[in-house]
Amino acid sequence: MSKKGRRLTLGLAGKEAKAKWTHKKAQTDKKFGRGLAPVAAPSSLKPAPGVQKKKKKVKKSGDGAAAAGAAPAAAAEAAAGAAAGFFPFSSEDVILLVGEGNFSFSAALAARLGTAEMVTATAFDSEAEVSRKYPDAGAKTSAVEDLGGTVLYGVDATKLETCKALRGATKFSKVCFNFPHAGAGIKDQTLNNLTNQRLLAGFFSSVRPLLSSPLQGLQYTPAGPVVPELGQVIVTLKTGLPYDVWGIAEIAKAAGYQVHACSEFRPEWYAGYEHRRTIGWVASQEGNLELQDKPCKSWVFVDRKAVIAGKAEATRGAKRAAKKAGEAKKADAAKTAGGRVGADSQATTAAGYTAAGYYVVSRATPTRVPSREDTRCT
């Protein structure tokens, strides 16, 4: 091959490799939430656009005008749903809240659900430190406890297994960490970002044993026995710098999780919630002013291995059901065939008796028809 031919071959190979790399990177970005739009699911939790199943193509009908008009309407509806975001909790969830400050989120969530029997709210600081930082915390914790909730202090989100109250407890279907921040006060932004990344990585590693799974069977909660759902980890962050630099989706992926959903966090959904900084109430702005200029996102993650195990079990269950249905069908077919054979045998027997001069009074006692000789007078 000439030099020109070799250069052409190498050039084509390089372009092909670059195209494959670009495609793989695009698929990875799409799968793990880089640049995800809010999820169009205001009333129930649905997968984010980056991880949704592909929609089937709709065949165009003869009414082209109706089909053309439906597309903009569907797009408008999806946009409205995306703007609305989603509310990820329900009264059937077993909920663990970590990293609470003044417990205003816990109180607001309990009030919205109407009960806190299956809500456990925790703070990193001691009870005395919480009272010092947040003077309004006492009223919030009382509201949670009055609705049946549990409040714990001194719980490290990166070492949840060390908390005796959580060890061996009922598994949680939702574990939520709102606005995680180490609060280290480091001036070097690079080092500060690294500290918060380590906080998130430690949390993802620590929370896995506490997540529920349908494969665990029935679990008993204050609301009674339930079949647990696949546990979800919810992390809410502000957008913009420095939070976008943390790369929460990449940290979760490295810890063995995948993005299930991502949507806007709406403080107005939680009446009475007041955002507070880690360093305390004095440095915080009143109400939720800090959140107004920086839109917030709630990321929902699930354990990748648990998802795979669940799909495998579902496949095995479907095979077992199909096998059982096949066996039942064969049994019914055999029973039907046996009935037909019995009926044919009985018909053949009756025909034989009749041909021999008998009439059948019952299946057990055929009686002979009297002959002419039997009835002749002597």
Full pLDDT tens readout for the chain, 378 residues: 555 555 545 555 555 656 665 666 556 555 555 444 333 333 334 444 444 444 444 444 444 444 344 444 434 443 444 445 578 888 889 999 999 988 999 999 999 999 999 999 999 999 999 998 888 889 999 999 999 999 999 999 999 988 988 887 688 999 999 989 887 777 788 888 999 999 999 999 999 999 988 776 666 666 666 667 889 999 999 888 888 889 999 999 999 999 998 988 888 888 888 888 776 655 555 555 666 667 888 999 999 888 888 777 778 777 788 777 777 777 777 777 666 555 555 655 556 555 555 555 555 555 555 555 554 544
Is the dihedral angle over the CA atoms 197, 202, 205, 209 positive or is it negative? Answer: negative
Q: Whole-angstrom Cα distance, residue 250 to residue 247? A: 5
Show the tokens assigned to 258: 């995948």
Beta-sheet pairing, 232-238 with 219-221: unpaired
Identify the residue whose tokens are 């195209």: 19
**Strand, coil or helix: what is 163?**
coil
**Strand, coil or helix: what is 360?**
strand
Question: Counting every residue, how long is the chain?
Answer: 378
Q: Whole-angstrom Cα distance, residue 108 to residue 101? A: 13
Q: Whole-angstrom Cα distance, residue 156 to residue 288? A: 25
Q: What's the first-to-final CA gap in the chain, in angstroms?
A: 124
Show the tokens assigned to 265: 């966090």
CA geometry: angle 291, 296, 300, nearest 5 deg: 145
Show the tokens assigned to 110: 């309990």
Show the tokens assigned to 57: 């193509």
Q: Distance of CA 186 to CAs 189, 192, 196, 237, 240, Å?
A: 7, 5, 11, 19, 19
- Looking at the DSSP bridge assignments, the partners of residue 366 are 360
Phi, psi at residue 188, to the nearest 5°?
Answer: -70, 115
Beta-sheet pairing, 358-360 with 366-368: antiparallel
Q: Whole-angstrom Cα distance, residue 69 to residue 290? A: 41
